[in-house]
Amino acid sequence: MEIPSSSAREASPRGLWLPLITPFRDGELDETSLRRLIRHYGALGLDGLVLAGTTGESLTLDENETQQLVEVSADELARQGYRLPLYLGLSGSNTRKLAKWLHRLVDWPIAGQLIACPYYSRPSQAGLIAHFDALADSTRHSILIYNIPYRTGVNLGNDAMLRLAERPNIVGVKDCCADPAQSAELIRRRPPGFSVLTGEDAFYHAALSAGADGAILASAHVETAGFIAIRDAFARGDGPTADSAWRRLADLVPLRFAEPNPAAIKYWLWRTGLIDSGELRLPMTPVSAALAARLDGAIERLKPAA
């Protein structure tokens, strides 16, 4: 399969991306709510959407549902005239299986894939390089590496990351390494066009302050305009405005992760009418009554004045 030229770097993700929840109703993918979400978030000025990520409960989706999720989202974006790139979340520890999956995705209406490091098997740094090299050889789409060692059990170090950054279609990383020193070093050493996007919602402001190229944030489902305002303030070098906007949002971020993600976000979207059900798939469960009460209080406080 033909591998993209270095022009793929021109499309490296930057700015604020949303890892979209997957709406369910009565055990099925809720297409009506999905289209409503696409219309809503497509109009707000985000830089892209990630479908079937962790927040999208990807591990509970079968192949047909994943394809439906992508096709419906792309169709609704086209209907509305929104030019918003879609990335598809992928994960797994079987390199050959993932490579075959990438071959099947070649004609899907996506701009790239967000691919997590192999989980549970804990390969060496050499194994991680070989894994992502094989995947890069299997697609002409862009690849964004997802480094999240507290979920996968393995940390992709900066030396290995920079080796992979030499590949034209490995265009960046969603950085959840949980080590500020590692993140700062990567930002300093990254080659031109290789994007470092934080995936740690609580570190959004700090990461942009340190020079990160953007973020992929589940929290941005709520008060999206505020997260966009921070992105825009940093882009024009307006630190005081970014600081002020972050102070208004910072206390809301822990609330959305008080119980396993995406339960709180789905509850919020359901209570505010963006989705028709807050339904999750096992092993995820709905929010507790105590958290529901806290979320209801926050929703009430954030209502616009009559």
φ/ψ bin of 84: left (φ > 0), alpha (ψ from -120 to 50), beta (otherwise)? beta
Catalytic, 174? Answer yes
Do the beta carbons of residue 82 and residue 46 sit within 8 Å?
no
Among 41, 87, 146, 204, the one annotated catalytic: 146
Catalytic, 303? Answer no
**Binding site annotation covers 22?**
no
CA proximity to 76, closest of 127, 39, 123: 39
Question: How many DSSP H helices and E strands does the chain contain?
Answer: 13, 10
DSSP class of 286:
P
Do the beta carbons of residue 262 and residue 21 sit within 8 Å?
yes
**Binding site annotation covers 55?**
yes
Q: Between vectors from CA 170 to CA 169 and to CA 176, what angle results, nearest 5°?
A: 155
Q: Name 115's Cβ contacts closer than 8 Å, sequence gap at least 6.
A: 89, 90, 91, 98, 132, 135, 143, 144, 145, 146
Q: Which residues of 242-267 are buried (b: 16+ CB within 10 A; e: fewer)?
A: beebbeebeebbebbbebebbbbbbb
C-alpha count within 13 angstroms, C-beta hemisphere, residue 267: 26
CA proximity to 53, closest of 148, 126, 129, 124: 148
Do the beta carbons of residue 119 and residue 90 sit within 8 Å?
no
Among 82, 87, 150, 174, the one annotated catalytic: 174
φ/ψ bin of 58: left (φ > 0), alpha (ψ from -120 to 50), beta (otherwise)? alpha
Biggest CA-to-CA distance, the chain = 59
Which structure tokens are listed for 69?
Answer: 């999720």
Q: Name 266's Cβ contacts closer than 8 Å, sequence gap at least 6.
A: 21, 23, 275, 278, 279, 280
Active-site annotation, residues: 146, 174
Which residues does the annotation place in the binding site for pyruvate? 55, 216
Which residues does the annotation place in the binding site? 55, 216
